[in-house]
Amino acid sequence: MIRITVALLIVCAAAAVAALAPDLRIVAVLVGGLAAVLVSATGAPDDRSHSPQPAAAATPVSEQAVIDAIAEPVLLVVDGRVRIANAAARALLGGHVIGEDVRLAIRHPAAAERLGAGGADGATELIGLGGRDQRVEMQVATIAPGRRLVHLIDRTTSHAAERARVDFVANSSHELRTPLAAIIGFIETLDDEKAGADAEVRNRFLSVMMKEARRMQRLIDDLISLSRIEAEKYRLPEMPVALGRLVEEVAADLRDSDEAARADLTLDLAPDVPMVAGDAAQLAQVLHNLVGNALKYGKRGTPVTIALRRDGDTLIRLSVTDQGEGIAAEHLPRLTERFYRVDPGRSRAQGGTGLGLAIVKHIVERHRGRLDIASAPGVGTTVSILLPPAAHPAILPTAAPDAVTIVSPN
């Protein structure tokens, strides 16, 4: 009875640790699990007669079974040697680790001290374990004299996400500060009586200030779009959208407002294309961004074609093709990164924010679609989005980072 009470207390303590410190959850689960092993394996018959247990609770559970049930790599180390390594640990470190000195099994300079005799329990970051860019957090906990659990948590993705967030904040601030600094500089100059009094200088400065203010406005609009799209990322758009009609509306808008669009924009719309389940405003934004890029980076006087057609039985392909300079192969994989530009000076001079394709990618992912970028230097670029028709919303089930396909002839 006492043993059961002690074990229950351990399980409760483990649950409390799990609630308070999410990072220690696995260790808490393990300690709880091992306490259960202790009860089921050693509980005396007279204990059971006083408080009958359900059959399932009395089934003995081995340490091996508890550790094997955990998806992340976990090792049980007894007197400095690996006694148990679950499948994930064997996949990461190799099947040979059983019986090895744990410092050889986890061959990493930062791990050696904590894993050695007398090493303290706690967490250590291991950079490069299992791959050059891999980041693994090693948690070591003593569970009984001479017995330690080593839990290896892959932090690569969360670290990369944190890096991307920090870079994004730094880049956004930099992009906003540049036009702001120009505007403040011109205001200060105009404030000087002599420069401000000259009508020609004043008008020239005001027009530059307006250009810079508009640049800030475009950037802020794109930043707001991006955060709205990200906030809705898991809400599947549901309204039926006729892409052919949407293309015609966007083309008419562009022809009204842009001289190059009036001259170069051509449509190639197949008649039998089914509707998609989508968000019409966001799909219009995709078209504006792609056609805007084709006009900016295409060659004046050559066609920019928006084509719409079925792609096999299950997809609809909407593509924008230009006959501009194209994009060199090494840039293609990075084009959908925020603020990535092949030629920053040219992008800025054309009013680009560096966020257009990042916005397109997020919208396409929200629609469970795919983005294809195909380009050949000297020939031109085709950017396509592939969407499932409304009747088949689950054809591309997940929005994953590999939802972008890069096609380069090189």
- Can you give the binding site for ligand ADP, defined by CB under 6 A? 289, 293-294, 297, 322, 324, 327, 335, 341-343, 347, 352-358, 381
CB of 225 to ligand ADP, least distance (A): 12
CB of 289 to ligand ADP, least distance (A): 6
Burial 267-295 (b: 16+ CB within 10 A, else e): eebeeebebbbbbbebbbbbbbbbbbbbb
Our CB check for ligand ADP shows the closer of 124 and 293 to be: 293
Our CB check for ligand ADP shows the closer of 43 and 324 to be: 324
Q: 3-class SS at 135? A: strand
CB of 306 to ligand ADP, least distance (A): 13
Residue 93, Cβ density class (10 Å: 0-12 exposed, 13-18 middle, ≥19 buried): buried
Q: 3-class SS at 318? A: strand
Round to whole Å and give the CA distance between 95 and 12: 34
Question: What is the torsional sign of CA 200, 201, 207, 210?
Answer: negative
Is the separation of the CB atoms in 281 and 367 below 8 Å?
no
Our CB check for ligand ADP shows the closer of 70 and 379 to be: 379
Our CB check for ligand ADP shows the closer of 7 and 355 to be: 355
CB of 210 to ligand ADP, least distance (A): 19
Q: Report in angstroms the alpha-carbon separations of 144 from 213, 284, 357.
A: 66, 63, 55
CB of 20 to ligand ADP, least distance (A): 44
Residue 289 in tokens: 């961004």
Kindly report the CA angle at 215 between 209 and 217, in degrees rounded to 5?
105
Q: What are phi and psi of 237, to 5 degrees?
A: -70, 145
Segment (H or E) for 77: strand 74-78
Q: 3-class SS at 132? A: coil
CB of 342 to ligand ADP, least distance (A): 3
CB of 218 to ligand ADP, least distance (A): 9
Round to whole Å and give the CA distance between 6 and 34: 12
Our CB check for ligand ADP shows the closer of 282 and 293 to be: 293
Our CB check for ligand ADP shows the closer of 73 and 356 to be: 356
Round to whole Å and give the CA distance between 107 and 115: 11
Segment (H or E) for 144: strand 135-144
CB of 350 to ligand ADP, least distance (A): 7
Round to whole Å and give the CA distance between 282 and 321: 20
Our CB check for ligand ADP shows the closer of 10 and 291 to be: 291
Round to whole Å and give the CA distance between 127 and 116: 19
CB of 178 to ligand ADP, least distance (A): 14
Our CB check for ligand ADP shows the closer of 133 and 343 to be: 343
Question: What is the torsional sign of CA 187, 189, 194, 197?
Answer: negative
Our CB check for ligand ADP shows the closer of 304 and 387 to be: 304
